[in-house]
Amino acid sequence: MRLVHLSLLLVVLVPIGVVGCSRSDSPNTPESTVVPTGAASAAESSAGSGGPEAAVREFLEAVRTGDDKKTEAMFTRLAREKIKEMEDIQVAPPGSDTASFEVGTAEYLAEDGARVKSKWTDLDREGKPRTDEITWMLRKESEGWRIAGMAATVFEGEDPLLLDFENPKETLRKLELLREEIRQRTESQAAQAAQTAEPKESVRR
């Protein structure tokens, strides 16, 4: 079972109670904070120019460095408003000193819509580099291109997980279901591995 990095999937909506646990230990990681729509204007101005590829690049760099304000500023206004309405979540990218990313060419869906594929590489639990592919959905707004959602293949060979950042409640529900599915699959694999090992132990005796 090969899973996309959950830290990247959870970068947008994190329950407030687990922000401290999800953070990188890097001293350069900013403190987590909820940014009101108006307070994001400074970050928005620097990202207003350029196409959807540039927007994804700025977003992923903010995620990599754990920059809460910049990360939230790169969402659509509707997404920011909906996130602000929910008191139990906030934008809190964990940040990673070992992560790197590549951004592909944008595919325009309409005058104000596009999707951009990216590759995110980081170390897995065993310390080995692993690359995951994620597609970002963007919408062009008055301040520039902004992130509206994402799609990522969590389980190889299965349909990708679609997350709509403009519907954070549904996104949280999907992530909770994902955690439970991962837990069940992990336990099932562990049980199968234990059963496979038992006959070998019997032969040795």
| CA–CA distances in Å: residue 63 to residues 6, 69, 176, 202 | 13, 10, 21, 50
- Run of H or E including 130: strand 129-141
DSSP code of 167?
A: -
pLDDT confidence of residue 17: 44
Residue 40 confidence (pLDDT)? 44
Q: What is the pLDDT of residue 143?
A: 93
What tokens appear for 179 in the block?
């955690």
The structure tokens listed for 101 are: 């990313």
Per-residue pLDDT of the chain (205 residues; tens, 9 = 90+): 455 555 555 555 555 444 434 444 433 333 333 333 343 444 444 455 689 999 999 999 999 998 989 999 999 999 999 988 987 677 777 788 999 999 999 999 988 999 999 999 988 888 999 888 899 999 999 999 999 999 988 888 888 889 999 998 898 888 888 888 888 988 988 888 888 876 655 556 5
Quick check: 154 and 186 in contact, CB under 8 A? no
Looking at residue 3, its pLDDT comes to 53
pLDDT of residue 204: 60
Q: Report the predicted TM-score, pTM, of the whole model to 2 decimal places.
A: 0.73
Task: Give the pLDDT score at 46.
Answer: 46
Whether 91 contacts 34, CB under 8 Å: yes
Say what the pLDDT of residue 110 is. 86
Q: How far apart are CA 103 and CA 4, in angstroms?
A: 17
Domains of the chain: 6-195 (3.10.450.50)
Q: What angle do CA 141, 19, 76 make, to 5 degrees?
A: 5
